């Protein structure tokens, strides 16, 4: 279908979606979950086409695994929708009310965003997950997935759309862009007359392309060059434990630790045991000169290392002689995602927490907690690393806007 036609349908659908009650939305979501379970064979069949094409194109095993669906993974998608049903509906919440001296009654009310665009290159499960969150938040969604997963995404979208129709809800609550040429994505990013917000989910390259080319307001998500700073008053065992967790519990995620900053006063005591812990997990260390005099197998770190999100078993290490230097280093190289100070000193912690310019700042805890589920939001569409609208983990609430409803009795302005 033509992009303009899709935009127009989504813009039409949003009015129907914002009128739905919570019950109607939940019923429709449960029906979609059932439909995904019922039709898993159709989805797996489509997925096989994607997998075959990927193998033929010589895709790596890791990427093929991301692309692969199983009955279990489809069950997880359905389960995800059931979890969204359990979440409170953010739409309609009265956020504030105030009365003006002229008698005007002003209400600030939470409303759906309207039409959300999502461009993603990751696994096909995003198709169902993103639909579920946008739908519960009262918005229509237009999806543009990776071309490698086109057949899978199409099958999933078809199941959802058919189920919605069965529930008496517009199937245009979710639409998938099926064209795969580059021009289509470029055009999609400029449909600000239909789309209220665009959320890219994927690697730094995708996100940069969207920021560069979109005329739709964008929420930047994902890139995380997360730092941990070990202060001179740190509990060093705690430091080793947190760093090991933040670096190695899962390396390919945006809230993993990529860069260490270490106060010189503790490097002699910290580095040997830290290096041992990291070696055990096969983490390659790249450090400055002072680190390398203590850690023999540490290779030299360059400027590039300090600014790199490795998403791999690699970590950079930089020594500093003061808290100020540590904060300056973090603010220079981080991606404003999640950064941590390990210290016993509340004053040092306070300063770090205030002055490090990140969505999430931690005192004595792993950066891996930056996550909608870990924060108790019950869901997550992504981690925002910009300052407009939402920052950090984005749940249902962060997928809404607000409007002012003003009630008068004939007031005019004097």
CB of 114 to a copy of itself, least distance (A): 6
From 28-36, 160-168, 307-315, 380-388, span contacting a copy of itself (CB under 8 A): 380-388
362 forms part of the interface with a copy of itself (CB under 8 A): yes
Instruction: Provide the 3-class DSSP secondary structure of residue 383.
Output: strand
197 forms part of the interface with a copy of itself (CB under 8 A): yes
Q: For residue 176, give the DSSP letter.
A: E
Instruction: Supply φ then ψ for residue 328, to 5 degrees.
Output: -65, -40
379 forms part of the interface with a copy of itself (CB under 8 A): no
365 forms part of the interface with a copy of itself (CB under 8 A): yes
403 forms part of the interface with a copy of itself (CB under 8 A): yes
- Strands 197-201, 115-120: pairing kind: parallel
CB atoms within 10 A of CB 135: 26
95 forms part of the interface with a copy of itself (CB under 8 A): no
Closer by beta carbon to a copy of itself, 311 or else 353: 353
Q: Please identify which residue in 113, 155, 177, 226 interacts with a copy of itself, judged by CB under 8 A.
A: 113
CB of 368 to a copy of itself, least distance (A): 4
- The CA-based angle 8-209-112, given to 5 degrees, is 40
Instruction: Supply φ then ψ for residue 247, to 5 degrees.
Output: -85, -40
Closer by beta carbon to a copy of itself, 55 or else 281: 281
311 forms part of the interface with a copy of itself (CB under 8 A): no
Closer by beta carbon to a copy of itself, 63 or else 95: 95
What would the two tokens of residue 169 be? Answer: 């809800």
Q: Please identify which residue in 20, 81, 84, 219 interacts with a copy of itself, judged by CB under 8 A.
A: 219
Q: What whole-number distance in Å separates Cα of residue 153 and Cα of residue 3?
A: 17
CB of 320 to a copy of itself, least distance (A): 16
Closer by beta carbon to a copy of itself, 166 or else 408: 408
Give residues with Cβ within 8 angstroms of 414, minimum separation 6. Answer: none
317 closest CA partner among 395, 370, 263: 263
Q: What whole-number distance in Å separates Cα of residue 338 and Cα of residue 257?
A: 9
What would the two tokens of residue 401 be? Answer: 């806007």
Q: What whole-number distance in Å separates Cα of residue 246 and Cα of residue 369?
A: 9
Positions in 126-155 near a copy of itself (CB under 8 A): none
19 forms part of the interface with a copy of itself (CB under 8 A): yes
304 forms part of the interface with a copy of itself (CB under 8 A): no
Q: Which residue has the tokens 């449909």?
A: 191
Size of the chain, expressed as the number of residues it contains: 414
- Alpha carbon 407 to its chain centroid, in Å, reads 38
383 closest CA partner among 219, 198, 225, 216: 219
Positions in 224-253 near a copy of itself (CB under 8 A): 235, 238, 241-242, 244-246, 249
CB of 295 to a copy of itself, least distance (A): 22
83 forms part of the interface with a copy of itself (CB under 8 A): no
Q: Please identify which residue in 43, 46, 160, 361 interacts with a copy of itself, judged by CB under 8 A.
A: 361
CB of 125 to a copy of itself, least distance (A): 21
What would the two tokens of residue 10 be? Answer: 């989504």
104 forms part of the interface with a copy of itself (CB under 8 A): yes
56 forms part of the interface with a copy of itself (CB under 8 A): no
Closer by beta carbon to a copy of itself, 144 or else 336: 336
- How buried is residue 177: exposed, middle or buried, by Cβ count under 10 Å (0-12/13-18/19+)? buried
Closer by beta carbon to a copy of itself, 222 or else 393: 393
Torsion, Cα 118 398 216 178, to 10 degrees, reads: 10
What would the two tokens of residue 363 be? Answer: 């005192």
Q: Please identify which residue in 215, 293, 321, 322 interacts with a copy of itself, judged by CB under 8 A.
A: 215
Q: Please identify which residue in 72, 98, 296, 303 interacts with a copy of itself, judged by CB under 8 A.
A: 98
407 forms part of the interface with a copy of itself (CB under 8 A): yes
Closer by beta carbon to a copy of itself, 161 or else 244: 244
What would the two tokens of residue 200 be? Answer: 């890219």
| DSSP notation for 270-323 | HHHHHHHHHHHTT-EEEE-HHHHHH-TTPEEP-HHHHT----SSEEEEEEESSH
Q: Which residues bind a copy of itself (CB under 8 A)?
A: 14-15, 18-19, 98, 100, 104, 106, 113-114, 192, 196-197, 211-212, 215, 217-220, 235, 238, 241-242, 244-246, 249, 331, 349, 353-355, 357-366, 368-370, 374-376, 386-389, 391-393, 401-413
């Amino acid at each position: 279908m033509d992009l303009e036609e899709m935009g127009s349908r989504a813009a039409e659908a949003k009015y129907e979606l914002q009128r739905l009650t919570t019950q109607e939305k939940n019923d429709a979501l449960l029906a979609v979950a059932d439909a995904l379970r019922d039709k898993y064979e159709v989805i797996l069949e489509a997925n096989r086409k994607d997998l075959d094409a990927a193998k033929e194109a010589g895709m790596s095993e890791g990427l093929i695994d991301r692309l692969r669906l199983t009955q279990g993974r489809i069950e997880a998608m359905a389960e995800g929708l059931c979890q969204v049903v359990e979440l409170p509906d953010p739409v309609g919440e009265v956020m504030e009310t105030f009365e003006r001296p002229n008698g005007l009654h002003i209400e600030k009310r939470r409303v759906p965003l309207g039409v959300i665009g999502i461009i993603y290159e990751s696994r096909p499960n995003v198709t169902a997950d993103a639909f579920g969150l946008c739908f519960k938040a009262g918005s229509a969604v237009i999806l543009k997935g990776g071309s490698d997963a086109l057949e899978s995404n199409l099958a999933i979208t078809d199941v959802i759309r058919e189920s919605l129709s069965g529930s008496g809800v517009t199937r245009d609550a979710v639409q998938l862009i099926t064209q795969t040429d580059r021009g289509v994505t470029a055009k999609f990013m400029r449909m600000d007359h239909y789309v209220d917000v665009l959320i890219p989910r994927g690697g730094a390259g995708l996100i940069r392309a969207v920021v560069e080319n979109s005329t739709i307001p964008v929420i930047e998500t994902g890139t995380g060059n997360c730092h941990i700073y070990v202060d001179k008053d740190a509990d060093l065992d705690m430091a080793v434990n947190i760093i090991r967790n933040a670096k190695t519990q899962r390396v390919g995620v945006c809230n993993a630790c990529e860069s260490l900053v270490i106060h010189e006063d503790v490097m002699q005591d910290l580095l040997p045991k830290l290096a041992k812990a990291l070696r055990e997990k096969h983490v390659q260390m790249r450090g400055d000169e002072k680190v390398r005099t203590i850690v023999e197998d540490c290779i030299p770190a360059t400027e590039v290392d300090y600014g790199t999100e490795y998403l791999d078993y690699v970590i950079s290490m930089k020594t500093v002689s003061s808290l100020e230097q540590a904060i300056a280093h973090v603010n220079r190289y981080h991606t404003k995602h999640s950064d941590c100070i390990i210290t016993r000193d509340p004053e040092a912690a306070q300063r770090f927490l205030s002055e490090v310019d990140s969505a999430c700042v931690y005192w004595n805890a792993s950066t891996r907690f930056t996550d909608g589920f870990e924060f108790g939001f019950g869901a997550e569409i992504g981690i925002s690393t910009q300052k407009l609208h939402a920052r950090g983990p984005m749940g249902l609430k962060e997928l809404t806007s607000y409007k002012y409803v003003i009630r008068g009795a004939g007031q005019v302005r004097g």
